[in-house]
Amino acid sequence: MLELHDATVTFAAPGGPLVRAVDAVSLTLPAGSFVVVIGTNGSGKSTLLGSIAGTVRLDGGRIRLAGHDITRWPEHRRARLVGRVFQDPRAGTASSLTVLENIAVASQRGLRAGLGWATTAALREEAAARLGRIAPGLETRLDQPIGSLSGGQRQIVTLVMATWRRPELLLLDEHTAALDPAAADRVVQATAGLIRADRLTALMVTHSLTQAASLGDRLLLVHRGRIVLDVQGPAKRRLSADDLAARFDALRRGDQLDDEAARTLAELYA
Ligand SMILES: Nc1ncnc2c1ncn2[C@@H]1O[C@H](COP(=O)(O)OP(=O)(O)O)[C@@H](O)[C@H]1O
Ligand SMILES: [Mg+2]
């Protein structure tokens, strides 16, 4: 379970105004939730995820995860509980190491320092099984440098690495945005399959309204650091991309979404 209470992050642009990138957000995610997060550029999605991962400090409010108050925990301590995948397929992996070596490093992450890593036969078998399950064929690439993989394949390996030790929370920040549509689709299917099979709790930021409508059991729309739309339960299951466009329009008419954001979201949908 993840709980945010009045989480606030303020940035001061040099000489400019203060930006409330996250504005008093309160949110409870029961364990096993798969939440999709959307919003225009600059709405605060990455800052929200960063504040949970510990790369960004809150200047107000609290965060609890899996029974711990992690508000003041440094990033490396939270890494034991939080797995992350970013937009850039190169992030979080070592290009010169093989796929298996990268997984070996990930398998030791968050354990006692100085333990090092080793590519044992047991690890090889487990890595092949996990890769083969979500991306059949990828298990034959274990001994190749991870840098020789395509972006999509690399994101799938990164996903396996990020979830190797079954994190309390998986954070995905537009992890398919840098991929071509076919690869993005494969990575999204692998992601959804993995989250379901391992019953992970996940927050996934996406720029795809199709993904937003079809994936997950809850949808959050972030605007100016606030959650302005929260759809869950049966309403989320029924949600289509058309419904979403209508919801954006309703928010705009209610002045909860400015014209520009409504326009941008409508364009994303088009
Ligand atoms: N490190 C930073 N320093 C100053 N301003 C930042 C920083 N990171 C983000 N911001 C600002 O905070 C707001 C939210 O940014 P971000 O969370 O990256 O949005 P999103 O991920 O939704 O595109 C934007 O106005 C952005 O310019
Ligand atoms: Mg972002």
What would the pLDDT profile of 19-51 be if each residue is shown by its tens digit? 999 999 999 999 999 999 999 999 999 999 999
Q: What is the pLDDT of residues 107-165, one digit of tens each?
A: 887 666 556 677 889 999 999 999 999 999 999 999 999 999 999 999 999 999 999 99
CA-to-CA distance for 60 and 69, rounded, in angstroms? 14
Structure confidence at residue 267 (pLDDT)? 72
Q: What is the pLDDT of residues 195-223, one digit of tens each?
A: 999 999 999 999 888 888 889 999 999 99
Superfamily of chain region 2-269 = P-loop containing nucleotide triphosphate hydrolases (3.40.50.300)
- Separation of CA 11 and ligand 1 centre (Å): 8
Ligand nearest the Cα of residue 45 is 1
Q: Could you tell me if 216 and 36 are in contact, meaning their C-beta atoms sit under 8 angstroms apart? A: yes
Structure confidence at residue 21 (pLDDT)? 97
Burial class for 139, CB neighbours closer than 10 Å (0-12, 13-18, 19+): middle
Place of tokens 């890494």: 79
- Separation of CA 266 and ligand 1 centre (Å): 22
Q: Could you tell me if 37 and 220 are in contact, meaning their C-beta atoms sit under 8 angstroms apart? A: yes
Structure confidence at residue 75 (pLDDT)? 95
Q: Which amino acid is at 229?
A: L
Average pLDDT of the segment spanning 233-256? 85
Cα–chain center distance at 29: 14
CB distance 41 to ligand 1 below 6 Å: yes
How far apart, in Å, are the Cα atoms of 83 and each of 79, 80, 130, 158, 204?
Answer: 7, 8, 16, 10, 12
pTM: 0.93
CA-to-CA distance for 208 and 2, rounded, in angstroms? 24
Ligand 1 site-directed mutation target among 8, 18, 19, 84, most atoms within 8 Å of CB: 19
Structure confidence at residue 198 (pLDDT)? 93
Place of tokens 């487990």: 126
Q: What is the CA radius of gyration of the chain?
A: 19
E strands, 76-201, are: 82-85, 169-173
Q: What is the pLDDT of residues 54-73, one digit of tens each?
A: 999 999 999 999 999 999 99
CB distance 206 to ligand 1 below 6 Å: no
Structure confidence at residue 70 (pLDDT)? 98
Query: Domain-by-domain residue ranges, the chain?
Result: 2-269
pLDDT surpasses 80 at 265: no
pLDDT surpasses 90 at 13: no
CB distance 52 to ligand 1 below 6 Å: no
Could you give the 3-state DSSP secondary structure of residue 2? Answer: strand
Nearest CA owner, ligand 1 atom 16? 44
